[in-house]
Structure 1
Amino acid sequence: MTLTDTNSWTGIREELLRRIHDRIWEPGSQIPHEADLAEEFGCARTTVNRALRDLAESGLVIRKRRAGTRVALNPPQRATLTIPIIREEVEALGKTYQHSLLERACQPVPPILHGVFHASLGEDVVYLKTLHFADDRPYAFEERHINLKAVPEARARKFEVSSANEWLVHNAPYSRGELSFSALNASDETAQILDCTPGTALFSMERITWMGEEPITHVKLIFAPGYRMHSVI
């Protein structure tokens, strides 16, 4: 592990995960105390605490007051949410990627998202409409809200050179997320954007990511006809 890695809780989490996966720390074994790990990594104890809390939320370690932290004997088998970068997805198909920012605005949290971006948030969100292309053909239409309380740097981003999808993957680490999938028929507006016939069956995905209890972003993606989702578990 490099010195840079130890400056962030995510870097420390990855190192702790490596030790668990490589059985340096066997299932059921005691993990060194936070103070000892902080000294080893040359970081604040709170940084180690954040990494351990994330592992505990994943069920990989068990934390008990006064008893310390142990590697879980039977960690839950969970699928890992890895957010794909659409540019890489398109390029993996051997096609040329580009995106067009159709709309960008800072606006109040819309009522439809009050259950996610709490109505008491009291701050604007960045609202974006983006069209992704593969070889000059529409690939996916993206509608996104970014919580500026969680990612204040997004306020200054134009998202014209790098899409919000790619920028958030690299700059807004998340602790959990939710996905939902659906089929829908293309409306007149969607058909025009994706260059298909109104009523065409399309694949749609909605995703919400959080850092702890703070929502980061809500995105809805509608893919052009012929899209196939591929996942490895």
Structure 2
Amino acid sequence: MALADTNSWTGIREELLRRIHDRIWQPGEQIPHEADLAEEFGCARTTVNRALRDLAESGLVVRKRRAGTRVALNPPQRATLTIPILREEVEALGRTYRHSLLEKDLRPLPPMLHGAFQVTLGADVLFLKTLHFADDRPYAFEERYINLEAAPAARDMTFEDVSANEWLVHNAPYSHGDISFFAVNADKTLSRKLDASTGAALFAMERITWTGPLPITHVRLIFAPGYRMRTEI
């Protein structure tokens, strides 16, 4: 791993994950102490500690006071969600897909996202609003921010022929991500865009993907009434 990649706790976490997944550290094996890892990566011990805490919270390592940190013998099994291409999702339902790009511009990241989507301070991000359709009926409304440091080619894309959703899946490979699901009540704007009654409960999700320590995109998707998500475990 390049030294530049270990300047942040997320970069160190990715390297520790690699060693666990590649069985460089076997299940149940004690891993090096924080001080030794900090010396190896050339960083502060607190940075290593943050990476190890994240792995412990995910259940991949077990930390005990004065006993060190070990690779978990039985890491938690979780359902895996792939990022769907909405065009394929709609076509799999036997419907005709199209999308409409409603807005596209460069702008500073909103302050409310700074904690979760950490782009370079002062850098503009690409903002898009897109409405996805199934058989000319609204399917999903999308608001998306793209970090141009992670996906520089997005700057020159029109996203009119290919949606940002589909383009990013094919052109901006991600190493990990966070996703949350929730319900929102349709306000006047969502009611109009998604052909929903005002106040109707709508299925929504927010997703952030990274490539190593770099965030790629933050997207908020709100689906028309009747949407149902399915996955395999």
TM-score normalised by length of structure 2? 0.68
Could you tell me which runs of 5 or more consecutive residues in structure 2 were left unpaired when the two chains were aligned: 1-20, 28-54, 61-71
Q: Sort the Cα spacing of 1:183 and 1:196 in 2 relative to 1 into closer, same or farther, 3 A.
A: same
Return the offset for 1:117. Answer: 2.8
- What is the CA deviation profile of residues 129-157 of structure 1, one whole-angstrom value per residue up to 9, with x for unaligned ones? 00000000000000000011111111111
Question: TM-score, normalization: structure 1?
Answer: 0.68
CA distance in 1, matches of 2:174, 2:79: 15
The alignment status of 1:136 with 2:136, answered yes or no, reads yes
Runs of 4+ in 1 over 2 A off after TM superposition: 57-60, 72-81, 116-122
**3-state DSSP of counterpart to 1:207:** strand
Do the aligned residues in 1 keep the contact of 2:117 with 2:208 (CA within 8 Å)? no
Could you tell me how far apart the structure 2 residues matched to 1:74 and 1:189 are?
A: 47
What is the alpha-carbon distance in structure 1 between the residues aligned to residue 232 and residue 80 of structure 2? 10
1:162–1:75 distance in 2 versus 1, CA, 3 Å: same
| CA shift for structure 1 position 106 | 0.7
RMSD: 3.3
Q: Which residue of 2 aligns with 1:34?
A: none
Distance in 1 between residues matched to 2:183 and 2:59, nearest whole Å: 33
Q: How many residues align?
A: 184
Equivalents in 2 of 1:78, 1:202: separation in Å?
25
Partner of 2:154: 154
Unaligned runs of 5+ in 1: 1-16, 21-26, 29-56, 61-71
- Mapping 1:104-143, distance limit 5 Å: 104-118=104-118, 120-143=120-143
Matches within 5 A, 1:19-98: 74=74, 76-98=76-98
Q: Whole-Å Cα distance in 1 between the matches of residues 102 and 89 of structure 2?
A: 21
Aligned to 1:210: 210
Distance 2:73 2:220 in 1: 38
Q: Where does residue 186 of structure 2 map in the other structure?
A: 186
The letter for the 1-side match of 2:140 is A
Identity among equivalent positions (%) equals 68
Q: 1:119 to 1:172 in 2, by over 3 A?
A: closer
Q: Deviations over 1:148-182 (max 9, x none)?
A: 11111111111100000000001111111111111
- The reply to whether residue 228 of structure 1 matches residue 231 of structure 2 is no
* Secondary structure of 1:101's aligned partner: strand
Q: Match of 2:198, as an amino acid?
A: P
Q: Which amino acid aligns with 1:98?
A: R
Contact 1:116 1:215 (8 Å CA) reproduced: no
Displacement of 1:188 in angstroms is 0.3
Secondary structure of the corresponding residue to residue 121 of structure 1: coil
